[in-house]
C-alpha cells in the first residue's frame, strides 16, 4: 500500500512539474478581471452605447442599462467560478469574451506614470489621465 501511495504521489508531482501553469494562470487572471466588472462598468457602458445606436436613444437608458446590468452580473458570476476552479481544466473561456469589454467610443490605454513610460527628460509620460472617469479620453501624447 505504501508503494502504491508513494508512486501515485510521484506521478502526480511529475505531472504537475511538467505540465506548466499557463492555463491556470490565464483562467485565474480572467476570473479576477471578470469579478471586478462592477468597478470597471464596461458591460453597462457598452450595452447602453450599442442600444442607443441600434435601437434608438429612447431605449438606451432603460433597456441598455438593464442589458448591461445582466451582463455584468453574469460576468461577475463566471469570474467567481473561474477563481474557485482555476487549478482544474478546462482553461478556455466559457461563454464570455476572454478580454474585458469597453464601449467603442473608449479604448483604454496605460495609466500615465513612471512604471509604464518613464521619460526622465520630460518628467512625464503618455497614457490616460483619469481612466476611472467614464468619457475621459484626454492623453498627454495623442498623435
- What integer is the mean pLDDT of 32-38? 90
Please state the pTM of the whole predicted model: 0.63
Respond yes or no on whether the N-terminal peptide bond of residue 90 is cis (omega within 30° of 0).
yes
φ, ψ at 19 (rounded to 5°): -85, -20
> Would you say residue 123 has pLDDT above 90?
no
pLDDT bracket for residue 48 (50, 70, 90): very high
| pLDDT digit string, tens, across residues 53-71 | 999 888 989 999 999 999 9
> Residue 120: its pLDDT value, please?
52
User: 70 vs 95, which has greater pLDDT?
Assistant: 70
What are the C-alpha distances in Å from 2 to residues 5, 7, 15? 5, 8, 20
Residue 141 has pLDDT above 80, yes or no: no
pLDDT of 127 strictly over 60: no
How far apart, in Å, are the Cα atoms of 48 and each of 31, 100, 104, 125, 133? Answer: 24, 16, 11, 32, 16
For residue 70, the model assigns a pLDDT of 94
Q: Give yes or no for residue 103 having a pLDDT over 90.
A: no
Give the tens place of pLDDT for each residue, 12-24.
666 665 566 778 8
CA atoms within 13 A on the CB side of 49: 14
- The pLDDT, as a whole number, for residue 121 is 57
| Per-residue pLDDT band at 105 (split at 50, 70, 90) | confident
Q: Where are the beta strands (DSSP E) in the chain?
A: none
Q: How confident is the model at residue 51 (pLDDT cuts 50, 70, 90)?
A: very high
Cα(51)–Cα(67) distance, rounded to whole angstroms?
A: 9
In whole angstroms, give the CA distance from residue 22 to residue 30.
12
Amino acid at each position: 500500500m505504501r508503494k502504491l501511495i508513494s508512486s501515485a504521489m510521484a506521478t502526480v508531482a511529475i505531472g504537475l512539474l511538467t505540465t506548466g501553469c499557463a492555463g491556470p494562470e490565464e483562467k485565474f487572471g480572467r476570473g479576477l478581471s471578470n469579478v471586478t466588472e462592477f468597478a470597471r462598468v464596461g458591460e453597462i457602458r457598452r450595452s447602453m452605447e450599442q442600444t442607443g445606436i441600434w435601437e434608438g436613444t429612447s431605449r438606451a437608458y432603460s433597456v441598455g442599462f438593464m442589458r448591461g446590468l445582466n451582463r455584468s452580473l453574469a460576468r461577475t458570476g463566471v469570474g467567481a467560478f473561474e477563481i474557485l476552479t482555476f487549478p482544474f481544466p478546462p482553461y478556455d473561456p466559457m461563454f464570455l469574451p476572454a478580454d474585458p469589454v469597453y464601449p467603442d467610443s473608449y479604448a483604454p490605454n496605460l495609466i500615465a506614470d513612471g512604471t509604464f513610460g518613464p521619460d526622465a527628460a520630460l518628467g512625464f509620460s503618455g497614457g490616460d489621465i483619469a481612466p476611472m472617469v467614464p468619457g475621459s479620453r484626454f492623453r498627454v501624447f495623442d498623435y
